[in-house]
Structure 1
């Protein structure tokens, strides 16, 4: 009788098991909460502090099932964001714009490989390093995190077409941005908040964090280059070999024989986008770019970007609808960065931006309204499992919070770290935070 090979459980099974374990914890761990308490020091100054107190726990049983609903409602913004990203890129991909962009990019790489010194270093290596450094800076300066999802969808097929796998594609964007997030040179969401709470000068110690950021990037990029080289030599060694078969086959098939053309609908899409940008420029002639704690006012920034779109949109349409859709994608990314840094955009505004990308791409490709909606729905279906993971995982925290035990667990961890000394507690905090993130 043949032994069955062990299979890693489905992601949903793992998450459900963690929720059940969390529910069991609520039966044995006492409840706790932090309350604000006022203290008056010797100088008569009253200060507020958080004080931990034990309370009755609330064991969770059938509430395990309601945790899913509450997890989805809590993470509704990110879930919708993921669905919109998948929907928009499905439309873009159906226009074969990404295929055209990848083919053009690969042609440029082949030309650059003829340059002796570039070929010695490795053009692909240069591409990997530059892309990872760019996204690492985004994470270090303005805390790019969830926004990387949009870029991941774009760069995975590019990485596979270059002879790598989807792990390299994810690393180019997601891993790089979070390495930058960890280095946190000017990250307002980590360093800014933490130093404000601690009463330290804002963004002090930037030199130390910059050195840490460089070290983290050297280690990460070196590993990705080593891994990418190994996969390119023998693609079958990739753990994603079977999963990446679709993109490999697509790159090798005759589907990449693209008929370049520009239908009249492309011009309609161009003028709709340009008109919208002109209106936005009229009401927002000046932009205040926030980098860390500093604010720089840039006059006529949005009007300037609108002018660039008008020029490059016109030129790309003269060439082909595929390059116009790529132009739309490029300026979507530009306006995403401008919106986050200049106008405080977050998931809601970014979702709207990519929804506009999907609709305008569909119009440009001469799709009917029903066809655009159909492709948006197909794209949302394709990425639905990733969106479900976000909602399900949030259920773990819901169970611990409603069981009133999460603060008790954090309190006991803090007591254990206090006994380890300053250096030991720093390491312990890092490990605990890493475990919680996982």
Structure 2
């Protein structure tokens, strides 16, 4: 008899209850600065002190409200993305793009060299490397939610499943995040608090990034080859009926008309981009915390839009909408790397994309509004679960036991050798990441403790940062307290339990790999260590 898998909501709420029970038995505590905070931004001395615990009872029900408050940005982001893409999907532009992409891959298979490798394998590797670079360079995380809507249908159209679609974007970005080389939100903050030169130890981090990607991408390709041979073996075969139904419905839908409204949108967008080009003729794209690359990126994109938009309009309005989508993604990259955009700006960008796409398809204001509401309604469950998942952390923080747990873990590193010490730090960071999935928040909490402690035991602070980096990265792909993971799974319609079963073996491999990659940081004379 097959046991029914509990709903994701049930699993997360059960974890909230377990966290509340823990607040009755775990003593309260907190770390406080032992003296003045250093002016250079390095880690201050901290001491642990006992405080009165705050046992949680009825708060298990109010945790959803507080979770919504704390995760409001991601929740609104998901709703706006859902509504915008529903408008875009109504144009059939994505379906036309996927069909053209599949035709392109079939042409690639005609070349003998590519046929040996497999066109699909080559495309998967290229897509995953791109998102991995984004994760390693600017810490792409929340942004992956928007791309899931595109890559899941693409993966299923290629003969795979929704897990492969999520793997191509979310797992790839996670691999890059774990093997980060220039991520300012994790490496930058951690090294700053540890008093280390920003992004020092780059060479070994780059090596680790390469190794981690080889292992992670190989796992995804292995899984993909099995599903490609027999799609029914997919653990989410039944759940993917929704996507298959959508794809089959839209596969025959074609629209070769070019509406006058599309031309109006084209000239309005072109005029706006010209104004932006005049205002920001030169933009510096910052890679990590370095000086960055300065160039005429906005004027170049404006000129490219003028050409590609005109060519697309000669073909059809849906083709033009596809161009709008493509340039939305390009401007997202420029915005994040050049202007420090976060989820508010990104949500605004995609919202504008949805509205402009609707107008370009000659839809009325009422029709666009109806489509947006339908999309928000369809993705509402994904938004709700993000708030609920945050409730776990809310209970632990309000119960005053997070620092107590950290203090108890740190106490286990006394009188250990360097390899054992850095391994214990890695374990601690991994376990803490289950409770605090935010890399920057965990760096601010743990590095002031770990950095001075590493000096006492004769351990390199750079090795301590590496232990933080790996501990922070790998479990992001599985921890139910991660609003991004829960949001991604909600959008892709993948039950958490099925995802955990699939990603579990890869997480185990990556954690073991992390141990192995940490050994050279204390046994070899590496640059920056």
Task: Pick the TM interval, shorter chain.
Answer: over 0.9
Cα distance, 1:381–1:332 mapped onto 2, change above 3 Å: same
Residues 165, 240 of structure 1: 8 Å contact kept:
yes
Cα deviation for residue 323 of structure 1 reads 1.1
The answer for the alignment partner of 2:3 in structure 1 is 6
The answer for the alignment partner of 2:21 in structure 1 is 24
Cα deviation for residue 250 of structure 1 reads 4.2
Q: Which moved more, 1:325-334 or 1:247-256?
A: 247-256
Distance 1:133 1:48 in 2: 37
Alignment of 1:316-395 (within 5 A): 316-395=312-391
Q: How many residues align?
A: 429
Cα distance, 1:195–1:147 mapped onto 2, change above 3 Å: same
The answer for the alignment partner of 1:412 in structure 2 is 408
Cα deviation for residue 405 of structure 1 reads 1.4
Q: Which moved more, 1:296-305 or 1:218-227?
A: 296-305
Cα distance, 1:315–1:304 mapped onto 2, change above 3 Å: same
Determine helix, strand or coil for the equivalent of 1:33: strand
Distance 2:299 2:168 in 1: 31
Distance 1:347 1:301 in 2: 21
Cα deviation for residue 254 of structure 1 reads 7.1
The answer for the alignment partner of 2:75 in structure 1 is 79
Alignment of 1:123-138 (within 5 A): 123-138=119-134
The answer for the alignment partner of 2:423 in structure 1 is 424
Cα deviation for residue 327 of structure 1 reads 0.4
Residues 418, 425 of structure 1: 8 Å contact kept:
no
Q: Which moved more, 1:120-129 or 1:247-256?
A: 247-256
- 2:143 pairs with 1:147: yes
Q: Of the candidates 237, 244, 249, which is equivalent to residue 241 of structure 1?
A: 237
The answer for the alignment partner of 1:53 in structure 2 is 49
Determine helix, strand or coil for the equivalent of 2:181: coil
What do the CA deviations read for 1:317-342 (whole angstroms, capped 9, x no partner)? 11111111110010000000000000
Cα deviation for residue 144 of structure 1 reads 0.8
What do the CA deviations read for 1:135-168 (whole angstroms, capped 9, x no partner)? 1111111111111111111011001000000111
Cα distance, 1:246–1:17 mapped onto 2, change above 3 Å: closer
TM-score normalized by the length of structure 2: 0.78
Determine helix, strand or coil for the equivalent of 1:125: helix
Cα deviation for residue 248 of structure 1 reads 2.7
The answer for the alignment partner of 2:165 in structure 1 is 169
Distance 2:159 2:423 in 1: 43
The answer for the alignment partner of 1:198 in structure 2 is 194
Distance 1:121 1:188 in 2: 36
Cα deviation for residue 241 of structure 1 reads 0.8
- 2:32 pairs with 1:35: yes
Residues 142, 186 of structure 1: 8 Å contact kept:
yes
Determine helix, strand or coil for the equivalent of 2:45: strand
Distance 2:125 2:16 in 1: 39
Cα distance, 1:418–1:355 mapped onto 2, change above 3 Å: farther
Residues 20, 64 of structure 1: 8 Å contact kept:
yes
Q: Of the candidates 213, 216, 228, which is equivalent to residue 232 of structure 1?
A: 228
Cα distance, 1:48–1:101 mapped onto 2, change above 3 Å: closer
Distance 2:15 2:176 in 1: 29
Determine helix, strand or coil for the equivalent of 1:298: strand
Distance 2:342 2:434 in 1: 26
Cα distance, 1:48–1:235 mapped onto 2, change above 3 Å: closer
- Gap regions ≥5 residues in structure 1: 41-46
Residues 406, 432 of structure 2: 8 Å contact kept:
no
Cα deviation for residue 257 of structure 1 reads 3.9
The answer for the alignment partner of 1:44 in structure 2 is none
Cα distance, 1:230–1:379 mapped onto 2, change above 3 Å: same
Distance 2:245 2:390 in 1: 36
Cα deviation for residue 252 of structure 1 reads 4.3
Cα distance, 1:55–1:119 mapped onto 2, change above 3 Å: same
What do the CA deviations read for 1:383-403 (whole angstroms, capped 9, x no partner)? 111111111111111111111
Residues 268, 363 of structure 1: 8 Å contact kept:
no
Residues 283, 296 of structure 2: 8 Å contact kept:
yes
What do the CA deviations read for 1:104-136 (whole angstroms, capped 9, x no partner)? 111111111111221121111100111111111
Distance 2:116 2:232 in 1: 26
- 2:273 pairs with 1:274: no
Residues 79, 390 of structure 1: 8 Å contact kept:
yes
Cα deviation for residue 266 of structure 1 reads 0.9
Cα distance, 1:250–1:402 mapped onto 2, change above 3 Å: closer
Cα deviation for residue 29 of structure 1 reads 1.6
Distance 2:107 2:296 in 1: 38
Determine helix, strand or coil for the equivalent of 1:243: coil
The structure in which a higher percent of residues are strand is 1
